[in-house]
Amino acid sequence: MQIELKKVIKPSVPLIIFYIVLGLVIWTATYAGTFFTKDIGFDEWLAKLTDVKFFYKNIASLGLTFVNAFLLLQLFNRFFFIDTYTFVSVFVFGLLTAVWGISHTLYKTHIALLLFIYALLCFFDMSQKQAPEKSFLGSLLITCASLFVNHLIFVLPACWIGFIVLRGFSFRIFLASILGVLVTCLLYVVVIYVISPTFDWQTLFNLNFSLDFSLQKLPLPTLIYIGSLFVIFFISIVGTYTDFHKRRRNITFMLILLVCFIILVIIQKDFEGTFFPFIALCFSIIVSYVFSTKTTNFYSILFFIFIIINLVFVGYNFLY
């Protein structure tokens, strides 16, 4: 019996609406589970739900997630797929973002992610004549994003490695990238100085690092969840590189970025899930390529296992 993902890959309008509703339900359940414990009463739990500041941060992040999902749809279908328009990358990204409640209040991170996706659109569209211009604009956008998430500036070297993978690296492109960084920093410094000449420049960038990160601090169900995602990711990587195609270079670029974001998560001093939306973006693109191109029962079943794992994790977070 052949199990097909055609409806998931290219869904109808009612199914898209169902996806949106499902995402809202999961987001709401994650939001409610943040305040839920078995020890508090219903009235106390309900009072915590109406925390205005927390609520509006969630709403802002949710709205930005919809925008980022739309940009991801354009990015994936333009630069990562071969035959048909697919929705699966948005589904995976939306599911992960809804499940990872730790990033729901980090609206600045979602703004930075929006700028980062625009930068990727520039980088993957670097034709021979426009390459320096696209490199400049993409680097400028990433530097702007680093004003919201300071550590994001360290992703630029990973992007330069990605340029080499894409066979689009040259001294002109590198110089254009550096100029994009310098122009952004110069404009920002000028604006800050005009607004507040007494500004404390030592607080301009908060780049705190630590090497005390340990998975042993996480609960066992969370470790199982992370391990399950890693297995699915590893299988997807194997499936991606079993047959060569020039667009594997774009996947390799995203793989380099994913490794960079994971390193940044590990070395950040304050673990707040800042880079989780960026990890969700890279993860969704890489695994969605396999789910969109492989039509065997194995990958179809793997996709449904991925969904079940996330739904079970939502239930665990709500109850515990």
Which of 300, 310, 166 shows the shortest CA–CA distance to 235? Answer: 300
Find how far residue 190's CA is from the centre of its chain: 31
Query: 136, 177 in Cβ contact below 8 A?
Result: yes
Token representation of residue 201: 């420049």
**pLDDT greater than 70 at residue 3:** no
Amino acid at 263: I
**pLDDT greater than 60 at residue 246:** no
The terminus-to-terminus CA distance of the chain in angstroms comes to: 39
The residues pairing with 209 across neighbouring beta strands, listed in sequence order, are 268
What is the rounded CA–CA span in Å between residue 25 and residue 45?
18
Helix axes of 13-35 and 297-319: crossing angle, nearest 10 degrees: 30
The residues pairing with 268 across neighbouring beta strands, listed in sequence order, are 209
Angle at 214 between CA 28 and CA 257, to 5 degrees: 70
User: What does the pLDDT look like over 256-283, one tens digit per residue?
Assistant: 999 999 988 888 766 677 899 999 999 9
Q: By three-state DSSP, how is residue 91 classified?
A: helix
What is the rounded CA–CA span in Å between residue 240 and residue 289?
7
DSSP state for residue 270 in the 8-state scheme: S
Query: 287, 236 in Cβ contact below 8 A?
Result: yes
DSSP state for residue 14 in the 8-state scheme: H
* Domain boundary assignment for the chain: 6-116+213-319
Token representation of residue 295: 């039509």
User: What does the pLDDT look like over 126-137, one tens digit per residue?
Assistant: 866 688 899 999
User: What does the pLDDT look like over 86-99, one tens digit per residue?
Assistant: 788 899 999 999 99
**pLDDT greater than 70 at residue 41:** no
User: What does the pLDDT look like over 137-159, one tens digit per residue?
Assistant: 999 999 999 989 888 989 999 99
